[in-house]
Amino acid sequence: MSEPLDDTALDQLFRTARTFNGFLDKPVGNDQLMAIWDLMKMGPTSANCLPARLIWCVSQKSRDQLASCAGGANPDKIRAAPAAVIIGMDLEFHENLPWLFPHTDAKSWFAGNAELRQMTAFRNSSLQGAYFIMAARALGLDTGPMSGFDQDKVDDLFFGDTPNIKSNFISTLGYGDPSTIFERSPRPDFEVFNRIA
């Protein structure tokens, strides 16, 4: 039976964790990217469909390419980060269900239903994107998730040879520079946005 995490862990994952606009000049290694994946893949998705497809932009060239797809202040953030990641979604994820969810013929639930596949891929890749953020935090890294980018351009540049994969959102990754964040935005008390039925 699981026990509650201590306050130090809860702070690192939630209470003092922040979205960073800039990062320290400290590299992120491939072993850390793999460690993030090894944690985030364990998060639940419906029928274990795991539709997220990630491209880790570590080289300056790939980050420059990604930055060219972003707007506002995001290009500078992407170029300066040690790494960035594109959280994509495979709209044909159901082709993998025979081995990812062997308990039943789950592939047949989605075959011939592009609308259901799109909705399922978006919802579950978004969940996996959240798992990415939490896994990075758990491993001592920080993120800067963003949606201010040209999705078609990202898809053309990074998923052009796999048209069944579309981008969901992108994020920078590294060791956050505390000087790049502002005061935390409001987080409402329970009763503001919740009700118990």
Check which CATH number belongs to the domain holding 114 and give it.
3.40.109.10
* Span 17-44, pLDDT tens digits: 999 999 999 999 999 999 999 999 999 9
> Per the domain annotation, does 10 fall within a domain?
no
**Structural domain boundaries, residue 97:** 28-177
Structure letter (DSSP) for residue 40 = H
* Span 111-154, pLDDT tens digits: 999 999 999 999 999 999 999 999 999 999 999 999 999 999 99
Distance CA 172, CA 182 (A): 17
Measured CA distances, 42 to 17, 127, 153, 161 (Å): 21, 11, 30, 28
> Per the domain annotation, does 66 fall within a domain?
yes
Distance CA 15, CA 120 (A): 30
> Per the domain annotation, does 17 fall within a domain?
no
Q: What pairing do the DSSP bridges indicate for beta strands 165-174 and 52-57?
A: unpaired
**Is residue 1 predicted with pLDDT exceeding 90?**
no
Q: How many domains does the chain have?
A: 1
> Per the domain annotation, does 62 fall within a domain?
yes
Q: What percent of the chain has pLDDT over 70?
A: 100
Give residues with Cβ within 8 angstroms of 38, minimum separation 6. none
Q: Label residue 80 exposed, middle or buried (CB < 10 Å: 0-12, 13-18, 19+).
A: middle
* Total residues found in the chain within this entry: 197
> Per the domain annotation, does 194 fall within a domain?
no
> Per the domain annotation, does 5 fall within a domain?
no
